[in-house]
């Protein structure tokens, strides 16, 4: 039994009487070798105690602890002690952990994993431009849907993921930015925190296709905030290729990141949200997969990608049926083409380059020809943009009677029937 598994359950206890849209409850955890501090509510576990016994002890202690959001618990098990602090803000919860180390505290407040947050990128001009962009991405008027909630975005350092991170942060959420590109996630977190004057963007290293990496990242989330209200599984890759030519290695790579990784995210997010729901049975949470219009219709010379996305919708529907008893809604968003993001526009590996090289667009001689070909396919005449996806996310979070759905955001290019 991992003592850290108590953090989501404790956050659930703190949330149980709160209204969904106004909830403020955070839990921070730190291991200690010192004696529990004065005032801590100490719970002692035996070697044979399991998670159910831990939850029973914690529930009884929480109910006896009196009013107020700030509480400090010390969980003692053979060979280990974990401090758990609750608060109505991250700062309040963190301030109750006298055994936590100063470096970790500084990293927690800055939103990084401990690396310097500078790099000289935060000029006044950049901050002003970022503020305007954030306002657009917040889908003004809908921001209260996620205000104060704790969110995780995988693949959040660039592309659609970055747009989603910026939108959620601008709307008042605490956002974990998980990415294989940790340096990029840390730069984004530092930029957002510096511009907003609050430390609610937190970078995490995560390889979504590696179970050990995913498990470690969710453990960090439990220690840093206690749980999650929204998980946006966005990380994805694409390698175009005809079935007669594509290598098995490329096919398996796309499948691992787009399909298998969503299983891992669903597994560990589901476990965390289940524990949180055990503490707050009436509280709803969301798991959203950023899928693709290629998950709704086949894609010529792009079978690995389309197949992984079709499979993703199968997982969404199956997870929705399984996790509904734990208060988790599971849905997919199927965006159209994000032409301005690196997936399409990267000069070396972007889809425009790949499609030109593979001859997917008949007669195309230049990248501009490829882009014009795909823009002409959209009835609304443009590619999908960040605010389009943000509005879909807010809809799914706000909609209490929707699970197992695949929501197209394609400008009319793909329609449900």
pLDDT given at position 60? 95
Q: What is the pLDDT of residues 116-172, one digit of tens each?
A: 333 334 444 444 555 555 555 556 667 689 999 999 999 999 988 999 999 999 999
Rounded percentage of the chain residues whose pLDDT exceeds 70: 88
* Confidence (pLDDT) at 23: 55
Is there a domain that residue 368 lies in?
A: no
Residue 12 exposure: Cα atoms within 13 Å on the Cβ side: 24
The structure tokens 């602890």 sit at: 65
Q: Note whether 84 and 144 are same-domain residues.
A: no
Residue 327 has pLDDT above 50, yes or no: yes
Give domain status of residue 357, yes or no.
Answer: no
Do 182 and 50 share a structural domain?
no
Task: Dump pLDDT digits (tens) for 274-304.
Answer: 999 999 999 999 999 999 999 999 999 899 9
Q: Is 373 a domain residue?
A: no
Q: How confident is the prediction for the chain on average, in pLDDT?
A: 89
- Sheet with strand 174-179: strands edge to edge: 201-205, 174-179, 150-154, 230-233, 285-290, 328-335, 406-409
Let me know whether 158 and 94 are in one domain. Answer: no
Report yes or no on 342 lying in a domain. no
140 shares its domain with 283: yes
By annotation, the residues acting in catalysis are 305
Q: Is residue 294 part of a domain?
A: yes
Same domain, 308 and 192: yes
Q: Count how many domains the chain has.
A: 2
176 and 323 share one domain: yes
- Based on the fold, state whether residues 92 and 140 are members of the same structural domain: no
Using the 3D structure, point to which of 58, 80, 100 is the last residue of a domain: 100
Is the same domain home to 90 and 133? no
Same domain, 194 and 268: yes
Structural domain range at position 37 = 3-100
Q: What dihedral do alpha carbons 9, 174, 162, 329 form, nearest 10°?
A: 40
Task: Tell me the pTM.
Answer: 0.89
pLDDT value at 329 more than 90: yes
Q: What is the 3-state secondary structure (H, E, C) of the chain?
A: CCHHHHHHHHHHHHHCCCCHHHCCCEEEEEECCCCCCCCCEEEECCCCCCHHHHHHHHHHHHHHCCCCCCEEEEEEECCEEEEEEEECCHHHHHHCCCCCCHHHHHHHHHCCCCCCCCCCCCCHHHHHHHHHHHHHHCCCCCHHHCCCCEEEEECCCCHHHHHHHHHHHHCCCEEEEEECCHHHHHHHHHHHHHHHCCCCEEEEECCCCCHHHHHHHHHHHHHHCCCCCEEEECCCCCCCECCCCCCHHHHHHHHHHHHHHHHHHHHHHHHHHHHHHHHCCCCCEEEEEECCHHHCCCCCCEHHHHHHHHHHHHHHHHHHHHHHHHCEEEEEEEECCCCCCHHHHCCCCCHHHHHHHHCCCCCCCCHHHHHHHHHCCCCCCCCCCHHHHHHHHHHHHHCCCCCCCEEEECCCCCCCC
Residues 89-110: pLDDT tens digits?
Answer: 998 999 999 855 433 444 544 5
What is the pLDDT, as a whole number, of residue 343? 77
pLDDT of residue 209: 97
Q: Which two tokens stand for residue 9?
A: 């359950």
* Residue 115 scores a pLDDT above 60: no
In a domain, 359, yes or no: no
Which of 100, 116, 138 lies at the terminal end of a domain, its last residue?
100
Is pLDDT of 317 > 70? Answer: yes
Mean per-residue pLDDT, 38-62: 94
Q: Does 77 lie in the same domain as 141?
A: no
Residue 116 is predicted with a pLDDT of 33
Q: Give the count of alpha carbons within 13 A of 338, CB side only.
A: 22
Tokens of 74: 């010390």
Q: Residue 175 is part of a domain; what is its CATH number?
A: 3.40.50.720
């Amino acid at each position: 039994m991992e003592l850290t598994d108590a953090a989501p359950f404790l956050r659930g206890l703190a949330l149980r009487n709160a209204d969904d849209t106004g909830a403020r409850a955070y839990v921070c955890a730190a291991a200690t070798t010192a004696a529990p501090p004065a005032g801590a509510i100490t719970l002692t576990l035996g070697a044979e105690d399991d998670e159910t016994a831990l939850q029973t002890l914690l529930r009884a202690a929480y109910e006896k602890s009196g009013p107020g959001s700030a509480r400090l618990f010390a969980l003692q098990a053979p060979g280990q002690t974990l401090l758990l602090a609750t608060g109505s803000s991250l700062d309040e919860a963190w301030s109750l952990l006298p055994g936590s180390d100063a470096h970790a505290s500084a990293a927690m407040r800055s939103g990084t994993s401990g690396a310097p947050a500078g790099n000289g990128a935060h000029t006044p001009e950049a901050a002003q431009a970022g503020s305007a962009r954030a306002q657009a991405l917040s889908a003004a008027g809908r921001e209260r849907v996620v205000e104060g909630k704790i969110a995780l975005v995988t693949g959040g350092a660039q592309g659609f993921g970055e747009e989603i991170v910026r939108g959620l942060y601008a709307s008042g959420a605490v956002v974990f930015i998980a990415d294989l590109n940790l340096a990029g996630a840390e730069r984004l977190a530092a930029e957002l925190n510096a511009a907003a004057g609050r430390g609610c963007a937190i970078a995490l290293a995560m390889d979504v296709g590696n179970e050990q990496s995913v498990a470690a990242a969710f453990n960090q989330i439990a220690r840093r905030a206690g749980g999650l209200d929204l998980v946006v599984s966005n990380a994805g890759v694409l390698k175009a290729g005809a079935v007669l030519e594509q290598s098995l290695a490329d096919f398996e790579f796309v499948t691992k990141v787009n399909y298998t990784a969503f299983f891992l995210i669903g597994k560990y997010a589901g476990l965390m949200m289940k524990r949180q729901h055990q503490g707050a049975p009436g509280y709803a949470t969301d798991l959203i997969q950023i899928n693709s219009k290629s998950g709704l219709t086949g894609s010529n010379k792009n079978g690995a990608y389309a197949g992984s996305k079709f499979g993703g919708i199968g997982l969404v529907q199956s997870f929705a049926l399984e996790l509904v008893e734990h208060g988790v809604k599971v849905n997919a968003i199927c965006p159209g083409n994000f032409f301005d993001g690196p997936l399409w526009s990267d000069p070396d590996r972007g889809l425009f380059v790949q499609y030109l090289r593979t001859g997917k667009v008949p007669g195309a001689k230049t990248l501009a020809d490829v882009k014009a070909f795909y823009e002409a396919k959209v009835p609304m005449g443009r590619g999908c943009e960040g605010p389009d996806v943000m509005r879909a996310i807010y809809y799914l979070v706000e909609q209490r009677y929707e699970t197992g759905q695949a929501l197209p955001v394609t400008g009319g290019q793909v329609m449900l029937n």
